[in-house]
Every structure is written in structure tokens, then in C-alpha cells.
């Protein structure tokens, strides 16, 4: 579900297209966009405080065979939320379709690669204050 929540819409479209037969679904709720309050705790302890609100698109769908999928995604892309919910439902139960498994793995890999790339670019600009430490 986290993978589907972060994957770009094009990858979701491609994953749906790769499924055979193409899933048929009906909308139980949404897709709709709204605000959720993000809460936090200082250092994961102490009292909860409201960090701020963020925009979230959510959707719940039911496939023809009765499986129900849910999706919550940051932003207002309603189509992506609906696709993510459909894929979530398809991934339920025994027998994950091979094409879906491959698509999910590819989404995971792409996300990891993007994170690596970001950390590498950040690492390239790191400054180590050796001198300060030795002088201190």
C-alpha cells in the first residue's frame, strides 16, 4: 500500500494495463480529496501536537469478485488514488498476478533509486569540519 501511495501515476496506469483480464471495479467511496491533520511527537515521546494539514486523495473500490481495495495518496490526483485502490484490491488474496508482482517490484526499485540518487547528491555537498574538531 505504501508503494502504491508513492508511485507516480504513469506506473499505476501501466500496472493496470498489464493485468489480464482487465479488472472491473465499482467505486465504494470517492475518489475524493480532503485535508488530514498530521500529528507528531517530539522525539517520538511526549504529548502529541498538530504539525499541520496536508492534502490527501483517497478512494475505496470493490472488484467484481468482492475484493475491496483502499488508497490514500498525498496530493489531489484523484485518478491515481482510484488506480492505487484497484491495484491494492488486486494484490489481495492468494495468487498475486505475476505482472502485478513485477510492477510492484519495479515501483519499489524506482523509489529506492530515487532516494539513493537524492542522498548521493546531498552527500556530494557535505562539508566535514575536521579542523574545528581537532582545534577544539
Partner 1 sequence: MSSVDGLSPGFTAPVEDQQACFRAVLEATSRPGTIVTLAGPTRPPAPLGGAMAAVALTLVDADTPLWLDDAIMAGAAPSWLRFHCGCRLVADPSSAVFAFAADAAALPPLSRFFAGTDEYPDRGATIVVAVAALGEGHRLTLTGPGIAGTAMIATTGLQKGFAAMRAANHRLFPRGVDVILVAGNRLVSLPRSTTVSSPEG
Residues that bind partner 1 (CB under 8 A): 26-29, 32, 60, 62, 66-68, 92
Integer angstrom CA distances of residue 76 from 16, 18, 35, 110: 20, 25, 10, 22
| Residue nearer to partner 1 on the CB measure, 29 or 118 | 29
Report in angstroms how near the CB of residue 116 gets to partner 1 at its nearest. Answer: 34
CB atoms near residue 79 (< 10 Å) = 13
Report in angstroms how near the CB of residue 16 gets to partner 1 at its nearest. Answer: 20
| Residue nearer to partner 1 on the CB measure, 19 or 68 | 68
Report in angstroms how near the CB of residue 91 gets to partner 1 at its nearest. Answer: 11
How far is Cα 117 from Cα 121, in angstroms, rounded to an integer? 6
How far is Cα 4 from Cα 20, in angstroms, rounded to an integer? 19
| Residue nearer to partner 1 on the CB measure, 51 or 92 | 92
Amino acid at each position: 500500500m505504501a508503494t502504491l501511495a508513492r508511485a507516480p501515476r504513469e506506473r499505476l496506469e501501466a500496472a493496470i494495463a498489464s493485468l489480464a483480464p482487465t479488472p472491473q471495479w465499482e467505486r465504494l467511496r470517492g475518489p475524493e480529496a480532503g485535508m488530514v491533520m498530521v500529528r507528531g511527537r517530539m522525539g517520538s515521546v511526549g504529548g502529541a501536537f498538530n504539525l499541520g494539514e496536508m492534502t490527501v486523495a483517497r478512494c475505496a473500490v470493490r472488484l467484481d469478485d468482492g475484493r475491496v481495495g483502499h488508497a490514500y495518496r498525498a496530493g489531489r490526483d484523484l485518478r491515481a488514488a482510484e488506480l492505487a485502490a484497484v491495484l491494492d484490491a488486486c494484490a489481495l488474496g492468494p495468487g498475486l498476478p505475476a505482472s502485478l508482482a513485477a510492477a510492484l517490484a519495479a515501483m519499489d526499485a524506482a523509489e529506492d533509486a530515487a532516494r539513493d540518487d537524492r542522498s548521493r547528491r546531498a552527500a556530494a555537498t557535505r562539508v566535514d569540519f575536521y579542523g574545528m574538531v581537532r582545534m577544539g
